[in-house]
Amino acid sequence: MFQQIRFAARHGKSVLCSRFSSLLTVLSVTAAMVLAITGDAAARPLDTILKDGTLKVGVNPNFPPMSAYGMTNQLEGFDVDIGNRIAAALGVKVQFVPTEAAQRVAFLTSGRIDIALGALTRTPDRAKLIDFTVPLHTEAMGVLTTEKVDAASWADLNNEDITLVNMRGNLSVDILKERLPKAKVLLVDGNADTVRALAQGRADALVENIDFFMNFTKFYRNVKWRVLDDPIFVAWCGIGVARDSRSLRDYLNVLLFDMHKSGTVNEIWQKWYGAPMVIPIDPDPFF
């Protein structure tokens, strides 16, 4: 996540205001220090994982479509598919460990998991405690609109004639007030409702983590949708590993390059989000 509080919404989670990131960072770092002191397991290098035959993968069980319990009460989602691919490439079994957002760093530093998924944004504060791979995916807070709106940049939406749609109770509404104060705001109840409002012409644009919303646009094929080229900000989410797991990190970097170059990551992303990643990862062989 963007280190931000998220509120559950239909079929997904919404990215929330970045002003809460420092609070979650403090909580995450504090929890990591506590578990690092009290934990009784050390981080496992790659050789140990291969000998043990099991990879312990931390995923957030309440974060669809990244990961959540499905109809059969089994974990499923983008992170689960990625975890399965990594384990298969290693030739080991996978053990998914339910790991809430604030527990990810702590579970790594205490050795309870080998790798952490769950949209783990790379930040300087987290990098003091854990290591990151190259990016697995991005999260882009940008603009979804239609051909009817004459706007080239998100800043063009700061206009009294523009209506922005968002969800009731979503703290990302604060970003609209701060950065686009002149625009009107229409509040609805869920992700699908925001896209419906745009399709019906009741609103002009959505400013959000639009990866969570693109899947709903397919229900309105008569609408010519547009995603503006300049996102308000982009988070780069990697796979988290413990500080003393260089062998594992280096292996994952090599594997991720292959998975990006082959299109595997984007295929899995589109499977769960219903649309390509808004800001795709350019594979880079150097890390």
Residue-wise pLDDT for 55-94, tens only, equals 999 999 999 999 999 999 999 999 999 999 999 999 999 9
Query: From the centroid of its chain, how far is CA 162?
Result: 28
Burial class (CB in 10 A: 0-12, 13-18, 19+), 183: buried
From the list 210, 203, 213, the residue with the least C-alpha distance to 183 is 203
| Separation of alpha carbons 132 and 116, rounded Å | 9
Query: Token pair for residue 66?
Result: 């990244």
From the list 1, 11, 39, 286, the residue with the least C-alpha distance to 171 is 1
pLDDT value of residue 34 = 47
CA distances from 258 to 47, 54, 118, 136, 233 (A): 21, 22, 21, 12, 27
Q: Identify the residue with better confidence: 10 or 196.
A: 196
pLDDT value of residue 175 = 81
Q: What is the average pLDDT across 206-213?
A: 91
The answer, yes or no, to whether residue 43 has pLDDT greater than 90, is no
pLDDT value of residue 171 = 65
Contacts of 212 (CB under 8 A, 6+ apart): 9, 11, 12, 13, 14, 15, 191, 273
Burial class (CB in 10 A: 0-12, 13-18, 19+), 76: middle
Write down the mean pLDDT value for the chain.
Answer: 87
172 close to 16: Cβ distance less than 8 angstroms: yes
86 close to 17: Cβ distance less than 8 angstroms: no
Percent helix / strand / coil, the chain, rounded to 5: 40, 25, 35
Query: Token pair for residue 128?
Result: 């003091």
The answer, yes or no, to whether residue 36 has pLDDT greater than 50, is no
203 close to 164: Cβ distance less than 8 angstroms: yes
pLDDT value of residue 15 = 39
The answer, yes or no, to whether residue 168 has pLDDT greater than 50, is yes
| Separation of alpha carbons 25 and 17, rounded Å | 14
The answer, yes or no, to whether residue 251 has pLDDT greater than 60, is yes
The answer, yes or no, to whether residue 19 has pLDDT greater than 90, is no
The answer, yes or no, to whether residue 121 has pLDDT greater than 80, is yes
The listed range with the strongest mean pLDDT (2-11, 19-28, 174-183, 250-259) is 250-259
